[in-house]
Amino acid sequence: MNFQFIVKVLSALLGLAGAVCLFVVMGSGDEAIKMNASQGDFSTVSPLISIAQITLFLTVAATLIFSLRALFANSEKLKKALIFIGIFMFIVGIAYISSSGVETPLKDGEYLSESGSRWVETGIRTFYILSISAILSMVFSGVKRLIK
């Protein structure tokens, strides 16, 4: 069997199941769903969420499989990918080292741990470092093109 045919059939089945679940949810109405949810009955919405999770899992799995297959087929691409993964890990390491964690109270009365706070700050610093490097590379590329 053709792989493309299998993907089309699977996509059609997931789409059809999602549409049926959506119509069931829409047909139930907001008030009925809220009343059932307040009593702990999520049977109206659960199938739709399950279909969304299955679709997400299949999409991520297919993306990873085909991306890794393409990388391992070409050693030059694999080498570049590993270099960029190493650079990314280095940037995350720099952001982690420069971050400090402080136990923080949240709005719901809970506390964000010192470690959690440090990882949040690491993510923000990593975002800033990558954003600045992307902007600088665009500026450098534009200046280089103007000079030529």
**Where in the chain are the domains?**
1-73, 75-148
Predicted pLDDT of residue 31: 84
114 and 103 Cβ atoms separated by less than 8 Å: yes
Burial grade of 117 (CB within 10 A; 0-12, 13-18, 19 or more): middle
Hunting for tokens 């996509």 — which residue is that? 11
For each of the chain's 148 residues, which pLDDT tens digit applies? 687 888 889 889 999 999 998 888 888 888 888 888 888 888 888 888 899 999 999 989 989 988 888 888 988 999 999 999 999 999 999 999 999 888 888 888 888 899 999 999 999 999 999 999 999 999 999 999 999 8
Confidence (pTM): 0.63
